[in-house]
Amino acid sequence: MENPRLFISYSWSNPDHEAWVLQLATELRETGVDVILDKWDLKEGHDANAFMEKMVSDPSIKKVALICDKVYAEKTDGRRGGVGTEAQIISGEIYAKETQDKFVAVVRERDPEGKAYLPVYYKSRIYIDLSDPSDYAKNFERLLRWVYDRPLYEKPTIGATPAFLDEGRQSVSLGTTSRFKRALDAIKNSRPNAIPAFSEYCDIVVSELEKLRLDPNADPFDEAVVESIESFLPNRNEAVELFLALALYEDSTDSRKTLHRFFEKLIPYLGGENFKFLIHELFLYSIASLIRRERFEAVAHLISTDYYVPGNSDYGRDVMVSFGVFRSHMKSLEHRNKRLDLRRLSVRADMLVQRCKGGWH
């Protein structure tokens, strides 16, 4: 990687300020930045104006730092001296271009009211503050990241529009949002009602899941299954956020029992093809959330404690079943694989991977 080149514009305010700028330039060079500074690069016989214009005309100089103190701001605004000449060049360059990431003000000094000394043309722009020694290291890193174009917070790559928002699809609301927010707040803030709030959320999910039951006559049925699964994504994301919060803030005997009862209550839905996928996916994320926070006792509770199924069901009358019940075979996806000639080993596995939230791979 080629070393980035940085031009430093500053005023000769006083010997202490000049020494500070020289030290800053030295630190930058020690971190791989090719600094252009008059004390190093402007020699006897050189044209001072040409040297200043180099910051704009030289295509290899991608960054310019404006070291701002009281004298620099006054000379810039008054267009006095070499700084004033530089100001004419810089301000014209800034206003002439739509993107202005070539220039940044580095504040060295503040006025008696605590306001940064900045040129008028720079007043509304974001600056880097090196005026406070206690924050110097953190803000020096900001300066380095700006020079190298390596911001601390990178904008994530934009994803595809969720399938359940496609025109013509009906998204079913389970009405869980208010309970989700209440439970999340209670868990994160260790409120006394954290477990009851989570239990209330679980109960509303169980009761409202009936809204997603499919018409058995839908044609093609596998398409209805996939659409139903996609429509559940916002609800799944809510549940995942709660699982993570529980694992981090509220792992206890009560939270483990509540989570176990939640999945126990979902078992009667496993006769529906879409429910088979949704419940399996929720169970996987609950286990993954606990493992991520090293809550291994909680994981053991979910996979070693059997689940009670009351009354008549596909599993018999009043039976106990293992966690393996949450991985039920899906004939609809098997049919989809053949119908669309997808030639996939497991359509279900493909969907789980495609729907995986960032950071879980």
Q: Please report, for the chain, how many H helices and E strands are present, in that order.
A: 15, 7
Dist. CA 140–CA 248, nearest whole Å: 33
Q: What is the pLDDT of residue 329?
A: 94
**Cross-strand partners of 68:** 107
Query: Where would I find the H helices in 58-193?
Result: 70-78, 81-96, 136-148, 177-188
Specify the domain boundaries for CATH 3.40.50.10140 within the chain. 5-148
Q: What is the pLDDT of residue 188?
A: 94
Q: What is the pLDDT of residue 120?
A: 77
Name the packing angle between helices 81-96 and 70-78 (round to 10°): 70
Dist. CA 130–CA 109, nearest whole Å: 8
Q: What is the pLDDT of residue 87?
A: 59
**Cα 106 → chain centroid:** 28
Residue 283 or 103, more confident:
283
Model confidence at 260, pLDDT cuts 50, 70, 90, reads very high
Nearest to 254 by CA among 307, 304, 195: 195
- Strands 307-309 and 319-321, by their bridges, are antiparallel
CATH class name, domain 5-148? alpha beta
Side chain identity at residue 112, one-letter code: P
CA angle 187, 306, 331 (to 5 degrees): 95
Dist. CA 22–CA 266, nearest whole Å: 68
The two three-digit tokens of residue 294, written as one number: 């090293």
Q: Would you say residue 82 has pLDDT above 70? A: no
pLDDT in tens, 160-208: 666 555 544 455 678 888 899 999 999 999 999 999 999 999 999 999 9
**What's the Cα-to-Cα distance from 49 to each of 19, 56, 74, 87, 146, rounded to whole Å?**
23, 12, 20, 12, 26
Q: What is the pLDDT of residue 337?
A: 95
Nearest to 32 by CA among 4, 60, 59: 4
At residue 110, what are phi and psi to the nearest 5 degrees? Answer: -120, 160
